[in-house]
Amino acid sequence: MDFLLNLAPHLVNGIGLGLLFALIALGFMLIVGVMEVINLAHGSLFALGAYFAMMIIGLEPEWFGPMGEWYVGLPAGLRYSFALVLAPILVGLVGMLLEYCLRGTYGKDPLFGLLLTFGAAMVIEELIRVFWGSGEQVLQTPPAISGAFIWNGLIWSSYRFFAAGFAIVAIFMVWLFLERTPYGAIIKAGAHDSEMVRALGINLSRLRLFVFGFGVMLAALAGIIMAPIWGLRPHVGVDAVIPAFLIIVLGGVGSFGGAVVAGVLVGLTVGLTAAYASQWSLMSMYLLLIVVITFRARGLFGKKSVLEN
């Protein structure tokens, strides 16, 4: 019983981490599915979302002119809520600009898109250093979700529970959008056969623009939530994009449920390994991938993807 009680915080942390990984991976998967482009800038946009949120939370009165004192006087929770809404929108606009730059690579060798998004990732990371510096930063969280509490003689992080709950709600909202709205149906159709979508009279350029913006907004949202857990530094996006790509392969390219299940598996694997053998924590998710792909070449729920055409 004592062993299970001691294990419980690590399970909670692992599940929360895995759900946030899944949120990053879902945005990555939508872009891959609809645009057939592997967005290597996804991690940098993840980091940019957290930096934008930090900027919005800490805005000085002079940014608002006469209304500056009003904003500074707002409760911390309200400023944090503003950041959760505004920062992903700003990152979505940056993503749309990147998609516009990508249009010249469509229909050509995939290497062109890879190189362009890799270059964009480097540019975004350097811009973060220019505007916010290279040192470690802190994203302030409201007192209501900070700190810890004691239950059954164990110390639990309040923020970890908030992060897990937020990720569950966000993933559920994405699922509702994709499965229960007409535009979600168009996105899924575009991921299956973009030329058929064009033949039906749907503006494929506009669809790609929207999907790219939506995908990077999910990454930015995950970046804001994960910043207090991982810390905030210019290259933190590298730590995010690698698990996201691994989760897509592990769960199966194009599978929503596969991405969520794989995200939780990766989170649990990394979390539990970090608790009992920290030197193996990063290696553990690659070992998990090797084991699954050995027996399921397309991942847990994978079907034939657009990348195989």
Q: H or E element: which one contains 155? A: strand 154-157
Amino acid, single-letter form, for residue 224: I
pLDDT at 47 (0 to 100): 94
Q: How confident is the model at residue 117 (pLDDT cuts 50, 70, 90)?
A: very high
Q: H or E element: which one contains 148? A: strand 148-151
Mean pLDDT of all residues belonging to the chain: 84
**Does residue 173 register a pLDDT over 90?**
yes
**Secondary structure (3-state) at 125:** helix
**Does residue 68 register a pLDDT over 60?**
no
**Does residue 121 register a pLDDT over 90?**
yes
Q: How confident is the model at residue 6 (pLDDT cuts 50, 70, 90)?
A: low
| pLDDT > 70 in the chain, percent | 88
- Strand pairing category for 148-151 and 154-157: antiparallel
Residue 299 phi, psi dihedral angles, 5° rounding: 90, 180
Q: Going by C-beta distance under 8 Å and a sequence separation of 6 or more, which residues neighbour residue 72?
A: 59, 60, 61
Amino acid, single-letter form, for residue 94: V
Mean pLDDT of all residues in 33-56: 89
pLDDT at 69 (0 to 100): 62
Domains of the chain, by residue range, sit at 17-232
**Does residue 48 register a pLDDT over 90?**
yes
pLDDT at 85 (0 to 100): 93
151 has which bridge partners?
154
Q: Indicate the range of 7-16, 169-178, 262-271 predicted with least confidence.
A: 7-16
How far is Cα 51 from Cα 232, in angstroms, rounded to an integer?
A: 8
Q: How confident is the model at residue 29 (pLDDT cuts 50, 70, 90)?
A: confident
**Does residue 191 register a pLDDT over 70?**
no
**Does residue 92 register a pLDDT over 60?**
yes
pLDDT at 306 (0 to 100): 43
Q: How confident is the model at residue 84 (pLDDT cuts 50, 70, 90)?
A: very high
Q: How confident is the model at residue 231 (pLDDT cuts 50, 70, 90)?
A: confident
The number of beta carbons lying within 10 Å of the beta carbon of residue 85 is 11
Higher pLDDT among residues 253 and 175, named by residue: 175
Helices then strands (H, E): number in the chain? 12, 2
Higher pLDDT among residues 147 and 90, named by residue: 90
Secondary structure letter of residue 200 according to DSSP = T
Q: Indicate the range of 143-157, 185-199, 220-234, 282-296 predicted with least confidence.
A: 185-199
Q: How confident is the model at residue 5 (pLDDT cuts 50, 70, 90)?
A: low
CA distance readout (Å), 80 to 9, 108, 134, 151, 194: 26, 42, 23, 27, 38
Q: Which residue has the tokens 């309040």?
A: 158
Higher pLDDT among residues 128 and 305, named by residue: 128
**Does residue 304 register a pLDDT over 60?**
no
**Does residue 143 register a pLDDT over 80?**
yes
Q: What spatial distance separates the first Cα and last Cα of the chain, rounded to whole Å?
A: 52
